[in-house]
Chain A
């Protein structure tokens, strides 16, 4: 699976959009981009995933560049409860492929 690069930390004002970047320049054509987050010491929580088209669900939006070498996770209206570590993971199309976690981005939402 391709490696990902994320900034170690970011701050965001409450109510504003949080934009979390991820670089995955070695991604291959059949690999998906997944985002998970981990609040405090809880188990990681799935947010969203995509292949090449932009995706949106009730939690977030995922914007993938046309060359697929980078992506951005957008939390449209960040709240204090969104404070967490966010992991960007590239994974092949196989349900049994284990997720490989990096260190992620620690997002702090500030009141």
Chain B
């Protein structure tokens, strides 16, 4: 199993550009999450999905959109990037039963100039 993978690993954008971050998991997990982590801070939840075709807002959803068209993929979109979105983005997934643990991807480091 590859676990949770994220594409790309690094990206530099100019203000106003758009991009999509891809999260893929091969563990047949039901639930998937997108977090962002700013320097010196813990992770904050952006959006999450409790199953294929469903999405929900987390703590800091503004400026982001998500889609879960396939169970194994969870996409995070930035329609018009802003410098405040410079961060490291982590994806996570969990099977969804009881106290199952979350598995995290390696992260995507995004810089918006």
B31 CB → nearest A CB, Å? 5
B93: min CB distance to chain A, Å:
11
A48 closest partner in B (C-beta): B101
A36-67 CB contacts (< 8 Å) to partner B? 41-46, 49
10 closest A-B pairs by CB: A43-B104, A101-B42, A95-B96, A95-B100, A46-B101, A101-B43, A96-B31, A95-B97, A98-B45, A44-B104
Chain B residues near A98 (CB-CB < 8 A): 33, 45, 48, 58
Count of chain B residues near A, Cβ 8 A: 32
Determine whether A110 belongs to the interface, using a CB cutoff of 8 Å to chain B.
no
On whether the beta carbons of B40 and A103 are closer than 8 Å, the reply is yes
B58 proximity list for chain A (CB < 8 A): 98
Please count how many residues in chain A sit with their CB below 8 Å of the partner chain's CB atoms: 21
Contact between A100 and B45, CB atoms less than 8 A apart: yes
Q: Determine whether the beta carbon of A95 is less than 8 Å from that of B94.
A: yes
Q: Identify which of B94, B99, B106 contacts A42 (C-beta below 8 A).
A: B106
Report how far A42 CA is from B107 CA in the complex, Å. Answer: 7
Q: Which chain B residues border A94 with CB–CB below 8 Å?
A: 98
10 sample A-B contacts, Cβ–Cβ < 8 Å, listed by A number: A34-B101, A44-B92, A45-B104, A46-B101, A46-B103, A94-B98, A95-B30, A95-B96, A98-B48, A99-B43
Given contacts A96-B94, A102-B42, contact A49 B33 (CB under 8 A): no
